């Protein structure tokens, strides 16, 4: 727990500024997501990074105060809420194995009886949102997700972009296919349109790196950040490590060595258990739909700080 205290307190800002400068020079910046039209026009020259410590102190560099669409990073919050409500009962409906396929693939749903591989692929996240809807109305679920993030980050300005939610809803054929397949195979209680209405809105939450790093502290397992149980923190971090970057999860574990969750808005949340919460954003994505520069920056930061959980 005290691996690099001096560097952590005095050198972190310099490390982040150095990474920001290095990222400015990168020419391989990936491609912005274009299946959500509203995300296709985001300028991919942007890069932001923030690190929050359990003390509440936040270090940041680059475009760390610019809002971006958190997209699949919202799946971490709905998973926390579903585990809080259902506990282990959730696992009857969704698995805990990496899929080795794209985040929006429908292949395994047909082959494996509609129990999605894990809560982070789209099919699994749709089931998780459906599970939360068992006890609350759509409006209440969205209010609860927002409240969770506002409480975790200590920032009440976090909000949902209606524009992005609508933009996704208008071009949502794959997610509609997934939800209807789940419904057809009895793994969706609510109507597909009701579940997807919530899902598109949770994905359309906008945050800055500073807000996201601050919010992520709830996954750090320290006495200061006890928003959910220690058991559920351990479950979520394990799933982030094995499934958080979809078919790029092995590569992220290999290069960064931290539990992480990506979103097609170009954000990454990574947790250094007991020590720090990291948020990185750069809109260009790699082949697996994860931020290209975000992954590179996370790798540099983890190396520089000695933060990989494997060393
Ligand atoms: O459902 C979708 O396809 C998007 N709203 C979210 C996907 C996503 O962020 C995948 N992550 N890298």
Q: What is the pLDDT of residue 7?
A: 55
Interval 179-190: pLDDT, tens: 999 999 999 999
C-beta 286 within 6 A of ligand 1: no
257: left (phi over 0), alpha (psi -120 to 50) or beta: left
Q: What is the pLDDT of residue 2?
A: 44
Averaged pLDDT score across all residues of the chain: 95
Identify whether 55 is a catalytic site residue.
no
- Is 23 within 8 Å of 296 (Cβ atoms)? yes
Burial of 198 (0-12, 13-18, 19+ CB in 10 A): buried
Q: Rounded to two decimals, what is the model's pTM?
A: 0.96
Q: What is the pLDDT of residue 9?
A: 62
Interval 254-266: pLDDT, tens: 999 999 999 999 9
Q: Has residue 300 got a pLDDT over 60?
A: yes
Interval 89-137: pLDDT, tens: 999 999 999 999 999 999 999 999 899 999 999 999 999 999 999 989 9
Q: What is the mean pLDDT of residues 233-251?
A: 97
Q: Has residue 1 got a pLDDT over 80?
A: no
Identify which of 25, 20, 32, 30 has the alpha carbon closest to the alpha carbon of residue 63. Answer: 20
Pairing of strands 276-281, 48-53: antiparallel
Identify whether 199 is a catalytic site residue.
yes
Q: Which residue has its alpha carbon closest to ligand 1 atom 11?
A: 263
Q: What is the mean pLDDT of residues 211-237?
A: 93
Give the model's confidence band at 226: pLDDT under 50 very low, under 70 low, under 90 confident, else very high.
confident
Distance CA 283, CA 222 (A): 31
Q: What is the pLDDT of residue 8?
A: 59
130: left (phi over 0), alpha (psi -120 to 50) or beta: alpha
Interval 141-177: pLDDT, tens: 999 999 999 999 999 999 999 999 999 999 999 999 9
Q: What is the mean pLDDT of residues 272-289?
A: 96
C-beta 295 within 6 A of ligand 1: no
User: Phi and psi of 128, rounded to 5°?
Assistant: -60, -45
Distance CA 277, CA 210 (A): 10
User: Which of 33, 42, 71, 164 should be mutated for ligand 1, with most atoms under 8 A from CB?
Assistant: 71
Alpha helices in the chain, H assignment, sequence order: 5-6, 12-25, 37-40, 74-86, 107-111, 122-132, 138-153, 162-169, 173-184, 192-203, 209-215, 230-243, 249-255, 292-305
Q: Which residue has its alpha carbon closest to ligand 1 atom 2?
A: 122
């Amino acid at each position: 727990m005290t691996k690099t205290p001096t560097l952590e307190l005095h050198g972190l800002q310099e490390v982040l500024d150095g990474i920001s400068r290095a990222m400015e020079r990168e020419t391989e910046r990936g491609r912005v997501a274009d299946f959500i039209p509203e995300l296709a026009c985001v300028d991919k020259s942007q890069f932001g990074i923030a690190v929050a410590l359990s003390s509440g102190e936040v270090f940041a560099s680059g475009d760390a105060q610019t809002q971006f669409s958190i997209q699949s990073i919202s799946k971490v919050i709905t998973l926390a809420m579903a585990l809080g409500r259902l506990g282990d009962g959730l696992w009857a409906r969704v698995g805990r194995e990496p899929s080795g396929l794209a985040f929006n693939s429908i292949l395994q749903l047909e082959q494996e009886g509609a129990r999605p591989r894990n809560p982070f692929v789209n099919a699994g996240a749709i089931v998780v949102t459906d599970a939360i809807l068992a006890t609350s109305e759509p409006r209440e679920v969205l209010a609860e997700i927002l409240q969770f993030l506002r409480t975790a980050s200590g920032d009440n300005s976090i909000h949902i972009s209606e524009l992005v939610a609508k933009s996704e809803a208008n071009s949502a054929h794959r997610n509609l296919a997934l939800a209807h397949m789940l419904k057809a195979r009895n793994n969706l209680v609510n109507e597909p349109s009701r579940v997807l209405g919530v899902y598109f809105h949770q994905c359309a939450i906008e945050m800055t790196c500073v807000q996201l790093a601050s919010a992520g502290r709830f996954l750090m397992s320290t006495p200061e950040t006890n928003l959910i149980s220690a058991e559920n923190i351990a479950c979520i971090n394990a799933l982030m490590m094995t499934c958080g970057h979809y078919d790029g999860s092995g590569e992220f574990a290999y290069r960064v060595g931290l539990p992480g969750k990506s979103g097609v808005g170009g954000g990454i949340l990574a947790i250094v258990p007991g020590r720090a919460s990291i948020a990185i954003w750069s809109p260009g994505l790699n082949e697996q739909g994860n931020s290209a520069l975000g992954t590179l920056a996370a790798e540099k930061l983890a190396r520089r700080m000695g933060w990989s959980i494997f060393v």
